[in-house]
Amino acid sequence: MENQLGNKIVELEKEIYEMAGEEFNINSPKQLGVILFEKWKCLMHERQRPGYSTAADVLEKLAPEHPVVAKILEYRQYTKLKSICGRTGKLYSGRWKDSREI
């Protein structure tokens, strides 16, 4: 499972870099802000001190107009899944059961 997630993450990185026209640290809010809000002049940017907001809710608003933003959100989901899988070795699809007796 972890290898599949890793492969998908690498694939998404390549797509994002190709769409952006350059490589940058996708996990860096500062570098992502420069790409989205300075290079591409995304209109719905939210300026915060000292940079731009790249929070999920802001990116979700931009995603319909900027396909790369949807890829970045997908990348974030896969990296989160991989970090969970890496810690436990497993992914759980159901609810956690409470082991306490009633």
24-52, pLDDT tens digit by residue?
999 999 999 888 888 887 755 555 556 67
Of residues 48 and 57, the one with the higher pLDDT is 57
Helices within 1-102 (DSSP H only): 2-20, 29-33, 56-62, 67-88
Of residues 96 and 39, the one with the higher pLDDT is 39
* Average pLDDT value for residue range 16-27: 95
pTM for this predicted structure: 0.77
Is the pLDDT confidence value at 9 over 80? Answer: yes
Is the pLDDT confidence value at 61 over 50? Answer: yes
Residues 19 and 68 sit within 8 Å (Cβ to Cβ): yes
**Rounded Cα gap, residues 87 and 99, in angstroms:** 21
